[in-house]
């Protein structure tokens, strides 16, 4: 408790200090990257909670930047595939049903191997730094997502643990990453809250199903989607959850 009070007092003093007291962007990126270390591949299920997303979940795989996302809806105990996408970073390589743009995967937004390049691609101006709190957690905030700056992005980083806690956009939307716990010697979030800035939000509970396991390359092969699901019957319209996320999160595009 005393340590917490001491750190909080120090943090408040730092928060009012000159820019010379801010760590450099390379230092910040290196500290954050150390937490993720050699995390190259993983599999996770994101179960959506909220009236807009009853029975909906996302199955997600990632390997060396490539990713696959399956949108699933469960009704009366029966799970139905609604959509499947594959991509790499901010690029969308294939999707069924076909779409030009889709909301970016939440965990891709959280972390990429080259963080400094990725932050720049997300629109984070790392020349802007400030200190703030999320609850009782002291944070270093990179970027400037003040009103009127559209897709400009801020990232809030826990100043004690060097973990990303929040992404915020100039359009008022945000994604909060919480309940970090150890999975295979990596601290990974088990809860994500997406907020549209106007009072509507959706919570995702994360169930990690494997880290640094060998994933078959076919999972990420866009040319195989048609062969796998070409005869499948998909919904004619995107789900409300997908459309809502499209309005809040950055987009991936073909």
pLDDT tens, position by position, 160-210: 999 999 999 988 899 999 999 999 999 999 999 999 999 999 999 999 999
Question: Hey, what long-range contacts does 15-21 have (CB within 8 A, 24 or more apart)?
Answer: 15/130, 15/131, 15/132, 19/129
Q: Is residue 115, in this structure, part of any structural domain at all?
A: yes
For the chain, which residues score pLDDT lower than 50?
A: 2-3, 5-12, 16-18, 20
SS3 state of residue 217: helix
Distance CA 168, CA 162 (A): 17
Q: What is the pLDDT of residue 148?
A: 59
CB 113 within 8 A of CB 65: yes
Q: For residue 4, what pLDDT is reported?
A: 52
3-state SS assignment for residue 117: helix
Domains contained in the chain, number? 1
pLDDT of residue 77: 85
Query: Per the domain annotation, does 190 fall within a domain?
Result: yes
Question: Would 5 be classed as within a structural domain?
Answer: no
> For residue 42, what is the domain's CATH number?
2.50.20
CA distance 116 to 114: 6
pLDDT of residue 226: 85
Residue 2 inside a domain? The answer is no
* Measured distance between the N- and C-terminal CA atoms of the chain, rounded to whole angstroms: 50
Q: With respect to residue 90, please indicate whether it lies within any of the assigned structural domains.
A: yes
Expressed as residue numbers, the domain containing 194 is: 19-253
- 8 A C-beta contact, residue 71 and residue 82: yes
31 inside domain: yes
- Predicted pLDDT of residue 3: 47
Structure tokens at 130: 């400030």
Domain-embedded: residue 9: no
Nearest to 82 by CA among 104, 93, 101, 97: 97
As beta bridge partners, residue 195 has 174, 201
pTM: 0.90
Tell me how many degrees the CA angle 147-116-168 measures, rounded to the nearest 5. 25
The tens digit of pLDDT for each residue in 215-237 reads 999 999 999 998 888 777 888 88
Strand partners, 166: 156, 176
Instruction: Please check whether residue 228 lies inside any domain of the structure.
Output: yes
């Amino acid at each position: 408790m005393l340590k917490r009070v001491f750190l909080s007092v120090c943090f408040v003093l730092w928060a009012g200090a000159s820019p010379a007291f801010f760590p450099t962007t390379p230092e910040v990126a290196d500290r954050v990257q150390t937490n993720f270390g050699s995390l190259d591949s993983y599999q996770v299920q994101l179960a959506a909670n909220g009236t807009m997303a009853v029975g909906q979940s996302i199955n997600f795989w990632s390997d060396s930047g490539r990713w696959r996302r399956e949108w699933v809806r469960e009704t009366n105990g029966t799970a139905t595939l609604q959509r499947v996408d594959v991509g790499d970073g901010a690029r969308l390589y294939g999707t069924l049903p076909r779409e030009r743009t889709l909301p970016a995967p939440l965990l891709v937004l959280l972390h990429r191997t080259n963080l400094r390049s990725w932050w720049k691609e997300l629109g984070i101006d790392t020349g802007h730094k400030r200190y703030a709190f999320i609850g009782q957690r002291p944070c270093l905030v990179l970027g400037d997502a003040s009103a009127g700056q559209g897709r400009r992005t801020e990232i809030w980083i826990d100043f004690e643990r060097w973990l990303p806690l929040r992404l915020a956009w100039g359009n008022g939307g945000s994604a909060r990453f919480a309940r970090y716990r150890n999975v295979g010697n990596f601290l990974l979030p088990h809860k994500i809250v997406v907020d549209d800035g106007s009072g509507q939000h959706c919570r995702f509970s994360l169930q990690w199903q494997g880290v640094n396991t060998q994933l078959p390359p076919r999972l990420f092969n866009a040319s195989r989607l048609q062969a796998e699901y070409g005869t499948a019957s998909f919904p004619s319209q995107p789900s409300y959850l997908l459309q809502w996320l499209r309005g809040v999160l950055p987009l991936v595009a073909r």
